[in-house]
Amino acid sequence: MFPMLGILYVGAACRQAGAEVLLWDMNYSADPPVEECDILMVTANTPTWPTACEVATRIRAGLKVVGGPHPTATGERGPFDLGCKGPGERAAMWAVSYMLGNPMSPTAPAPEVWPAYDLWPELGQVSACAVEGEEPEPGCSIITSRGCPYACNFCASEVMWHRRVRFREVEDVLAEAKYLHDSFGIRQLSIKDDVANLKKPRFAELCRGFSDLGMKWRMHTRTDHVSLDEFRMMKDCGCVEVGFGVESGSQRMLNLMGKANTVENNERAIVWANEVGLRPRIYLIVGFPGETWESVHQTLDFVRRTRPHRALVNNFVPYPGCPVWNNPAAFGCTIDKSNLETYWQVGLEEDEGFQAAFDSMTREELREARRVLQEACEQLTGSPDRRKEAALV
């Protein structure tokens, strides 16, 4: 599994402030590595919020801090002493300095750190962009910018980033990539930016730098932010795969989602990627309010027509902070908030998911539509069921 960069950034900030850091990843072990610590810091999204609160009651700590998407969006802090909104590095440094008796100013700038990669026990054990017919090579994720300027109705990114993008200096990104290459033997990168090529000259410079390091890499972008020439340049610089949030093959659904894009753009970008030898990976959403069997079949037709390398199906989840959560009536739906632990886009059982209820399809129909889309995508593109792939991507 790729390193969880958010907690590794927080770990690096704690170290810079003078703390000794122990990482506990609950994906691997439900048992705490310690019973007591000076500071307990937990990151939580919506489906892990109940578990995060339970953890806070199990470990004794002088200060308990929670951050991540869920407390950022809701303002909840549960049994924790402090809740952090937004990126966690500055809050982490403040907490450590406070416990050491020399609290820094809460308005001090966030520290410029690289993730504490050495804390991740399985670094490099997963390939970032395996090429069929070639031996897999050690891979790792990396972030070159944070945030997204768009305002899709299914996304809560605006709560965290306020539609602003924070770009890292190219030299710093490439220095980090070289560190991963030289210190950990990393040969492949998965770029986790929402839209990696927003600034074209900057992106081209990054591409050349990755190429100079001999890295293979993959990235995500929007289909209205690409060109055939850019894809050729990316291919020449070691890019293997490009991911697009296509979401739906229905223009009506894209409009309801506030995607500010078109089916034609989506189709053209996939054609271009295939033409130059990049692997197009697309992400689909099923169950956004207004979905019908007609829009489901339009999405199926889109996949059949374009034949991406991978087509991965996600449930629509009304995460706290997204426009649907904030105003469900405006989208003609109601939201079941009774079981946050089911708020996963992938990895659910067949009878789970679809917290947003609306008139055009029942939950049972949505689950059947998910099954139909998943099976069709697997047959048409070789894409595994997201429940099988969730631990690997």
Q: Is the pLDDT of residue 392 over 80?
A: no
Residues 86 and 213 in one domain: no
The predicted pLDDT at position 345 comes to: 85
The predicted pLDDT at position 387 comes to: 40
Residue 160, in any domain of the structure: yes
In whole angstroms, what is the distance from residue 283 CA to residue 294 CA?
19
**What's 277's domain CATH number?**
3.20.20.70
Residues 176 and 223 in one domain: yes
- Domain span at residue 82 reads 5-99
Residue 110, in any domain of the structure: no
Each residue's pLDDT tens digit, 146-187: 999 999 999 999 999 999 999 999 999 999 999 999 999 999
Number of structural domains the chain divides into: 2
Residues 298 and 155 in one domain: yes
Mean pLDDT of 239-256: 98
Band of pLDDT at residue 388, cut at 50, 70 and 90: very low
Each residue's pLDDT tens digit, 255-274: 999 999 999 999 999 999 99
Q: E strands along the chain, which residues? A: 36-43, 60-67, 82-83, 139-142, 145-146, 166-167, 188-191, 216-221, 239-247, 279-286, 310-315, 333-335, 356-358
Phi, psi of 359 (to 5 degrees): -75, -30
Residue 116, in any domain of the structure: no
Residues 92 and 142 in one domain: no
Q: Which two tokens stand for residue 183?
A: 């210190």
In whole angstroms, what is the distance from residue 254 CA to residue 245 CA?
11
In whole angstroms, what is the distance from residue 354 CA to residue 344 CA?
9
Q: E strands along 31-137, which residues? A: 36-43, 60-67, 82-83
Residue 106, in any domain of the structure: no
Residues 132 and 222 in one domain: yes
Residue 349, in any domain of the structure: yes
Residues 139 and 234 in one domain: yes
Q: Mean pLDDT across the chain, nearest whole number? A: 92
Name the amino acid, one letter, at 257.
M
The answer to whether the beta carbons of residues 373 and 379 sit under 8 Å apart is no
Residue 112, in any domain of the structure: no
**What's 50's domain CATH number?**
3.40.50
CB atoms within 10 A of CB 102: 10
The answer to whether the beta carbons of residues 72 and 94 sit under 8 Å apart is no
Residues 349 and 209 in one domain: yes
Residues 65 and 203 in one domain: no
Q: Please give the model's pTM, rounded to 2 decimal places.
A: 0.92
Each residue's pLDDT tens digit, 87-126: 999 999 999 999 999 888 877 888 889 999 999 888 878 7
The better pLDDT of the pair 89, 385 is held by 89
Sign of torsion over alpha carbons 6, 7, 8, 12: positive
Residues 25 and 129 in one domain: no
Residue 171, in any domain of the structure: yes
Q: How far is residue 321 from each of residues 144, 259, 327, 373, measured CA to CA in Å?
A: 24, 17, 10, 27
The answer to whether the beta carbons of residues 328 and 304 sit under 8 Å apart is no
Residues 154 and 292 in one domain: yes
Q: Is the pLDDT of residue 393 over 50?
A: no
Residue 104, in any domain of the structure: no
Residues 229 and 366 in one domain: yes
The SS3 assignment for 246 reads strand
